[in-house]
Amino acid sequence: MTAKYDKLGLEFLYPENWKLIDDVSGSPQVITLETPDGSTTWSVHLYPRETDIDSVLKEAIDSLQQTYEDIEISPCEIADDEAFERGIETLFYCLDFLIRAELKIVKTEERCLLFWTQAEDRDYDKQKLVFKAITVSLLQSLKAA
What CATH number does residue 31 fall under? 3.40.1000.10
**CB-based contact 137:42 (threshold 8 Å):** no
pLDDT digit string, tens, across residues 116-133 = 999 999 999 999 999 999
pLDDT of the residue at 85: 87
Number of domains in the chain: 1
Domain that holds residue 64: 2-144
pLDDT digit string, tens, across residues 79-120 = 766 778 889 999 999 888 999 999 999 998 889 999 999 999
pLDDT of the residue at 84: 81
- Collect all residues with Cβ–Cβ distance below 8 Å to 73 and sequence separation of at least 6: 61, 64, 88, 89, 90
- Looking at residue 72, its amino acid is E
d(CA 29, CA 63): 16
pLDDT of residue 36 exceeding 90: yes
Number of CB atoms found within 10 A of residue 49's CB = 11
